[in-house]
Structure 1
Amino acid sequence: MKMKISINKLYSGLFLLLILILSASCSDWNDIEAVDIDPQHAKDQNPELWARYMESLRIYKQERTHYITYGSFENGTEQSKNEGAYLRSVPDSLDIVTLANSENITAYDREDIPSLQEKSTRVLYLVDYAKKMTELADAAALSTWLDKAVATATELKLDGFAFNGLPSYGGTDAEQAARKEAARLIVSKLSAFGKTLVFEGDPAFVDAADLSKLDYVVLNTTDIENAVNLKLHVVNILETYALSKEKLLLVAKIGSKLTDEDLNKLDAVTEMTNRVISLGPLGGLAIYALGDDYYQAKMNYQTSRMAIQTMNPSK
């Protein structure tokens, strides 16, 4: 009887010892250990191949006739959970990327801007006058604000400006005159920068004499929900203003829908791409909320890439 009890105690002791050993081993396996990882950028892995790719992008964007693809990007993210929030991740084939949050350019943005420009993507500063109109009613205040924007664009070596503003269809003569004066001041300051100049919105805001100074007009078509109204709107704009078709870009927002003539609700970016060709041909497509397209079932920026390929299939 005493022998049996001793054996049981021995087994119990060995079992506890085994548990302690296994626990210690598991703890060692789970310890965080620093590992040196030095990921190489593509241009460091094969500089010659990278240089050839950069040259092909330059030729496509600067020398070949093609439909323009313009992206509005919500920059200004300090830290994010995914790459879709950073400029460095936008599709290489975009012609223009506008910083939608230009008054909050972060260190991450500053680091990424040159990488886009290396790929011949023009990076523009958005002068969001539509958002600031109430604060900048005084011409002196507006001038100071514009000077600050120009100074930032100069410091960062940006490729130009996009700007917006709301036309005045009502109000007193004095209010309408002030709105026109503001528009002329904006164009005067930004066009003097000597690079790309884009207007986003209703071209009625811009003085007729200044329309020729614009490289592109991004027509705000995000609120148009069906193809019939879209066609009427585009025809009206082209007939009313002295704009060439090549300067006009239609806008679609990632995730929105456009109803065609057969009452089918289709992806707005994809369908608007087709309208760029059929209603003109026009200058190209502007994609808003570009970062929302980063994660797709098939690949990153699936919708945007397909739109670019549809407009420029052989490029």
Structure 2
Amino acid sequence: MKTILKNKKLFVGLIMSALLLPACNDWTDPESLTLHTPSFEEQNPELYEAYLKDLCNYKAGDHNVMFVSFNNPLTYPVNRSEHLTVLPDSIDFVSLNNPDQLSGDIQNEMVEIRRKGTRIVYTIDYAGFEKDWTAIVKNSDGSLTEEDALQYLGERTDEMLALCDRYNYDGVIVDYTGRSMVSLPEKELAEYNARQKNFLDRIGAWIDSHKGKTLAFYGNAQYLFPEYMSILSKCDYIILKTLSSTGEGDLSVKAYMAVQAGKDAAAELGGSENLVPTDRFVACVETPRPEDKEQAFGYWDTETGGSKMLATYGAAKWVASPSVDFERKGLFVQNAHNDYFDNNPVYRNIRESIQIMNPNN
């Protein structure tokens, strides 16, 4: 952050270091290196430690957070863009797209970025479990039952939760899209109810036994049964399903839908307190994809109909704007690795988004 760098007189040094990095997109780590250029940490370890202390204090304080997802390699990082240590220091959470079978190199880099107060998480995609089960049923002899489904879905959930302890993650993001219950036939509604309970009960039990870990819900609160909405009170953040949104208006609509869902659920259960916490909403966008020439991903439409706006920029402005009925607490930028190639400095759009969300830090 700007203030941290100014206070520690590191701004110039860090900018110079960034400018000295190769700009070529296919930069790779050399296998043999005869010359060693001392890093900033090696040149001035005391000043670097002071910088890390201020950085961790900033992240521990009240600010709008930045989540990013990162396409970590399963082998040794080859391209510069594959290194966790190149991500901006001011990112709060890094969600690894490939959370299992982590290489030793990636695990070492996880330790390194933790020194900066960055927490490493991963996403549990429930829709993926359902998709795999549907394929199993399609290829079966027809003898599989709903009890088999619950057992399979439960085992997949437990396997993913176990990764947190195996690799010492700092928490998980629960991706649960759900579906509208308005017109579901009775049998499908009962099945949907049982499967949702089966999944969320396991998530709830896990966080109860993992105090200090981060839990974020990425989904549609309005697709949860009222009796299961209590899981949201255990979540540190509620990430709105706004990846396909094309403007800030839709972000607000999604937030209000979640707020209203909590009110309706409370009324249905005979209570008055909103069952959806309104003080922890996070918007979700993605970075532009290098191969996308039509600007279909990572961009928002503009009111004037001219050139499109970067979704990261628009969403960051939305997070920084005031609201009455709910609190905007941050941004989740998916596929952050794409932003490495945007321009110099690397990860320019993510850096700017963090500054927009936290202009006084």
**TM range, smaller chain:** 0.7 to 0.9
Out of 155-164 and 38-47, give the one that drifted further.
38-47
Equivalent positions of 1:199-278 (< 5 A) are: 199-206=217-224, 207-241=228-262, 242-255=275-288, 256-264=298-306, 265-278=308-321
Aligned length: 281
What corresponds to 1:110 in structure 2? Answer: 107
After alignment, is 88-97 or 176-185 more displaced? 176-185
Question: Structure 2: which amino acid aligns with 1:193?
Answer: H
Structure 1 residues 168 and 178, CA, compared in 2 at 3 Å: closer, same or farther?
Answer: farther
Residues 39 and 233 (structure 1), Cα distance of their counterparts in 2 relative to 1, 3 Å cut: same
CA distance in 2, matches of 1:35, 1:274: 44
1:286 is aligned, of 332, 335, 350, to 332
2-structure distance, mates of 1:177, 1:199: 18
Name whichever of 244-253 and 261-270 sits farther off: 261-270
Q: Counterpart of 1:217 in structure 2: which amino acid?
A: I
Counterpart residue number, 1:312: 358
C-alpha displacement of 1:187: 1.9
User: Cα–Cα, structure 1 residues 181 and 243, in superposed 2: closer, same or farther, change >3 Å?
Assistant: closer
* Residue 48 of structure 1: how far off its partner (Å): 0.7
Q: Relative to structure 2, which stretch is displaced further, 77-86 or 115-124?
A: 77-86
Summarize the Cα distance change of 1:190–1:261 in structure 2 as closer, same or farther, 3 Å threshold: farther
Tell me the CA shift for residue 59 of structure 1: 0.5
Deviates further, 200-209 or 291-300: 200-209
- Cα deviation, residue 164, structure 1: 0.9
**Native 8 Å contact 1:257 1:268 kept in 2:** yes
Letter aligned with residue 297 of structure 1: N
Residue 57 of structure 1 is matched in structure 2 by 55
Partner amino acid, structure 1, of 2:206:
L
Which of these two proteins has the greater Rg computed from alpha carbons? 1
Please report how far the alpha carbon of residue 230 of structure 1 lies from its aligned counterpart in structure 2 after TM superposition.
3.2
1:27-42 aligned within 5 A? 36-42=34-40
Instruction: Tell me how far 1:205 sits from its aligned partner.
Output: 4.9
**Does the CA contact (< 8 Å) of 1:161 and 1:190 recur in 2?**
no
Q: Which runs of 5+ in 1 are unaligned?
A: 1-33
Measured at CA, do residues 270 and 236 of structure 1 come closer, stay the same or move farther in structure 2, by a change above 3 Å?
same
- Alignment counterpart, residue 82 of structure 1, candidates 79, 90, 93: 79
C-alpha contact 1:168 1:205 (8 A) present in aligned 2: yes
Q: What is the CA distance between 1:308 and its match in structure 2?
A: 0.3
Counterpart residue number, 2:11 = none
**Aligned partners of 1:88 and 1:217: how far apart in 2?**
27
Would you say the 8 A contact 2:299–2:310 is kept in 1?
yes
The residue identity in structure 1 corresponding to 2:200 is: R
Tell me by how many angstroms 1:52 deviates.
Answer: 0.4
Shift of 1:310: 1.0
**Aligned with 2:100: secondary structure?**
coil
How big is the alpha-carbon RMSD for the aligned residues of Structure 1 and Structure 2?
2.3
Counting only pairs closer than 5 Å after superposition, residues 117-128 of structure 1 correspond to structure 2 as 117-128=114-125
Structure 1 residue 49, shift from structure 2 partner: 1.1
Counterparts of 2:321 and 2:129 in 1: how far apart (Å)?
Answer: 36
Over 3 Å counting, the alpha-carbon distance change for 1:164 and 1:46 in structure 2 is same
Deviation digits for residues 121-175 of structure 1 (CA, Å, limit 9, x no counterpart): 1111221222122446733333433433343321322111111123132351322
Unaligned runs of 5+ in 2: 1-31, 134-147, 263-274, 289-297
User: Following the alignment from structure 2 to structure 1, what is the Cα–Cα distance between the partners of residues 33 and 78?
Assistant: 22
**TM-score, normalised by the number of residues in structure 2:** 0.71
Moved more, 102-111 or 117-126: 102-111
Q: Per-residue CA shift, 1:156-215, capped at 9, x if unaligned?
A: 221111111231323513222223223323422431322110111222455212110111
Establish whether residue 100 from structure 1 lines up as the match of residue 97 from structure 2: yes
Distance 1:262 1:193 in 2: 49
Secondary structure at the aligned position of 1:133 is classed as: helix
More deviation in 235-244 or 189-198? 235-244
Structure 1 position 314, deviation (Å): 2.3
Label 1:81 to 1:75 Cα distance change in 2 as closer, same or farther (>3 A): closer
